[in-house]
């Protein structure tokens, strides 16, 4: 029987209760690992020791990073240690790092010639002239590492943008942000495409609660199955591929000409998409994990 670690923080996500059942069906002993309870011991050799909840832990056959709220550094360090030991991480650590940095993600998408909204790396209120000239208002401000719609705000005017940036400088100096073009056709709605092992396996439309322009399911938005067109499939697969992700949640915005890429998530939640689409995401992840373990043993 294979052993897999799913890294999470906080309360175990609801979808992983079903994941436990899928793991057992796939012949996998699944352990939910909180990085806050993990100690990694390294020395100048290739050997390592990992302690979990005070006891030395046996290494797993593979690792998957689930939704992270806290202790993200610990989780990334654990992933890097697994890779050093030639233990497959379903998503490579460098791909997770790229996906967690919204501006780096845009740079990678640009290099791959994939569509996304105009984006500026913001230095503070001194960036307002560049925002005004290249994006205009309204614009969307985002912190580089936010998830589930957190750290995102729409600013409708130059004055509002200045106030937000001044407040951020006063309360959280050094916070890195981006400004993005506001896509009016997608206000209050977007698509989430789940990609596993180079295949787009499900697509849902998310609609915002009340007047919020953000459509995240975690913020109370509604979800429904959405037809998987060739454009949607291609954008989802190519976006995940560009960042090097084997499992990804690719968010697409509606535009006047089709779709554009909003964000790419390296550890997507799937409770929402499983509630409206005929898909079992964790089962697909485990199929991929088994393939990765077999490939490692064959080398």
Q: Looking at 61-65, 111-115, 117-121, 142-146, which range is the least confident one?
A: 142-146
Q: Looking at 10-19, 81-90, 107-116, 190-199, which range is the least confident one?
A: 10-19
- Determine contact, residues 193/249, Cβ cutoff 8 Å: yes
Torsion over CA: 261, 267, 272, 275 (sign): positive
**Rounded CA separation 155/99 (Å):** 24
Over 80: is that where the pLDDT of 108 sits?
yes
**Rounded CA separation 65/3 (Å):** 15
Residues 6+ apart with CB under 8 A from 163: none
Which pLDDT score is estimated for 149? 60
Confidence of residue 72 (pLDDT cuts 50, 70, 90): confident
Angle value at C-alpha 9, between 220 and 122, nearest 5 degrees: 70
**Rounded CA separation 248/241 (Å):** 9
Which pLDDT score is estimated for 213? 57
Which pLDDT score is estimated for 210? 66
For the chain, domains (ranges, CATH) are 2-89 (3.40.50.20), 118-182 (3.30.1490.20), 185-268 (3.30.470.20)
Give me 43's structure tokens: 């020395």
3-state class (DSSP) for residue 132: helix
Q: How many other CB atoms are there within 10 angstroms of residue 169's CB atom?
A: 13
Q: Write out the E strands in 123-239.
A: 139-143, 152-155, 177-181, 189-196, 199-207, 222-225
**Rounded CA separation 294/62 (Å):** 11
Which letter does DSSP use for residue 89 in this model? B
Which pLDDT score is estimated for 15? 86
Alpha carbon 224 to chain centroid, angstroms? 20
Average pLDDT over residues 236-258: 98
pLDDT digits (tens, 9 = 90+) for 5-63: 999 987 887 888 889 999 999 999 999 999 999 999 998 877 789 999 999 999 999 99
Residues 6+ apart with CB under 8 A from 116: 106, 109, 110, 260, 261, 262
């Amino acid at each position: 029987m294979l052993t897999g670690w799913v890294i999470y923080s906080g309360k175990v996500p609801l979808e992983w209760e079903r994941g436990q059942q899928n793991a057992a069906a796939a012949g996998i002993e699944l352990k939910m690992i909180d990085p806050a309870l993990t100690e990694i011991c390294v020395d100048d050799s290739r050997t390592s020791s990992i302690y979990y909840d005070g006891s030395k832990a046996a290494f797993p056959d593979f690792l998957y990073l689930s939704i992270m709220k806290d202790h993200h550094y610990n989780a990334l360090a654990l992933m890097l240690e697994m890779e050093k030991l030639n233990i497959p991480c379903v998503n490579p650590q460098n791909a997770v790092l790229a996906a967690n940095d919204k501006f780096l993600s845009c740079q990678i998408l640009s290099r791959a010639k994939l569509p996304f909204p105009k984006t500026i790396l913001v230095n503070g209120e001194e960036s307002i002239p560049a925002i005004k000239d290249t994006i205009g208002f309204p614009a969307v401000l985002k912190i580089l590492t936010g998830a589930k719609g957190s750290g995102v705000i729409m600013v409708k005017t130059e004055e509002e943008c200045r106030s937000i940036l001044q407040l951020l400088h006063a309360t959280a100096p050094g916070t890195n942000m981006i400004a993005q073009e506001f896509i009016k056709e997608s206000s209050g709605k977007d698509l989430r495409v789940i990609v596993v092992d180079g295949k787009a396996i499900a697509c849902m439309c998310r609609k915002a609660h009340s007047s919020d322009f953000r459509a995240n399911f975690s913020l109370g938005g509604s979800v429904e199955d959405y037809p998987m067109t060739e454009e949607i499939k291609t954008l989802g697969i190519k976006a995940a591929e560009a960042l090097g992700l084997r499992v990804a949640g690719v968010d697409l915005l509606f535009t006047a000409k089709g779709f554009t890429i909003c964000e790419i998530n390296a550890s997507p939640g799937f409770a929402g998409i499983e509630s409206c689409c005929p898909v079992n995401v964790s089962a697909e992840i485990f199929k991929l994990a088994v393939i990765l373990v077999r490939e490692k043993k064959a080398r």
